[in-house]
Amino acid sequence: MSPYPEATNAMPYLIACYALGVLSIFGYAVWLCRHRIQVNRYLAAIDKRA
């Protein structure tokens, strides 16, 4: 399994990986927080009405 010639200029793959990493982890975190705030807002609305 000798390393392939194009291993040296593999920068695009590396960037792709990390971009994917940032997108998924941070994206999920952002969605999670926004979702939590939204649910809290609904709860507050219902509490006010009850």
Give the footprint of other proteins on this chain (CB under 8 A). 1, 3-4, 6-8, 10-11, 13-14, 16-18, 20-21, 24-26, 28-29, 32-33, 35-36, 39-40, 42-43, 46-47, 49-50
In angstroms, give the least distance from the CB of 40 to other proteins. 7
Rounded-to-integer distance, Cα 18 and Cα 12, Å = 10
DSSP for residue 9 = T
Q: How far apart are the first and last CA of the chain?
A: 68
In angstroms, give the least distance from the CB of 32 to other proteins. 6
